Structure 1
Amino acid sequence: MNTLTNYQIINNKAGKPLFVVIPYDEFQLIQKQFSYEPVLPNEVVGLHIMEDKSLLCAWREYKNILPETMAESMGITIAEYTALEKANILASHMLTKAANVLGIDAELLTE
């Protein structure tokens, strides 16, 4: 068999496959497809649960971003941003803007 493959099969002594070795970049693609789970860092959970801060506020503090920076990056006033941090439910367009500034998935800002 002279077929060019991009993987290697490692067999046991009886000739049965035990492992498959693939290039790392292919492994990363497979991993992204099958094992995506958004993760809340412990610090964010602590700020949200223990200190009763909104997820938006907890993420902002975790990322060390000032409220003024968030407001400016989102194209809103600081007063509007402060109101967003106090709100339990964000409009989807604001949720998306905030998530983009924070560099996270929008679903991580929802309960």
Structure 2
Amino acid sequence: MSAHTQYSRVVGSDGKTHYFLVPVEDFQKLIVQSKQDEQISIPNAVVKLHLLDELSVIAAWRTYLGLTQEEVAHRLNVSQAAYCQMEKAKRPRQATRNRVAIAFGLDARQLSF
């Protein structure tokens, strides 16, 4: 049988709820969940490069960040030609997106649109 947790509601003189009081454990869980659910942002310029200029998502980000293929390849410890293949992939593998995201200083989800 699961226990029911009681939450307290604080109502102001205007009759509207202003606060909820929750147990510390529940609050901490909510904080962790909110950090996991944080929105990621993708600059409009990256979206434009991807959609209008028809660059891959990785190429759009690289261009936006002002990096050359050679610079990114160096960060990834691969040849420029190998990086070029990563950039050209229509659907790069998750492992590739993760590596490139780290090289760009991004969240991997920003390379998944």
TM-score (norm 2): 0.68
Partner Cα separation in structure 1 for residue 85 and residue 33 of structure 2: 41
Q: Which residue of 2 aligns with 1:37?
A: 39
> Percent identical across equivalent pairs?
28
Q: Does 1:107 align with 2:84?
A: no
Shift of 1:110: 2.3
Moved more, 47-56 or 59-68: 59-68
Which residue, 70, 74, 77 being the options, matches 2:76? Answer: 74
The one-letter code sitting in structure 2 at the alignment partner of 1:73 is R
Shift of 1:64: 1.2
Partner Cα separation in structure 2 for residue 107 and residue 76 of structure 1: 22
List alignment gaps of at least 5 residues for structure 1: 1-9, 21-25
Partner Cα separation in structure 1 for residue 12 and residue 89 of structure 2: 59
Which residue, 55, 59, 62 being the options, matches 1:60? Answer: 62
TM-score (norm 1): 0.69
| Secondary structure in structure 2 of the residue aligned to 1:38 | coil
Q: What number of residue pairs does the alignment pair up?
A: 97
List alignment gaps of at least 5 residues for structure 2: 1-9, 21-27
Q: 1:92–1:16: structure 2 CA closer, same or farther, 3 Å change rule?
A: closer
* RMSD, aligned α-carbons: 2.7
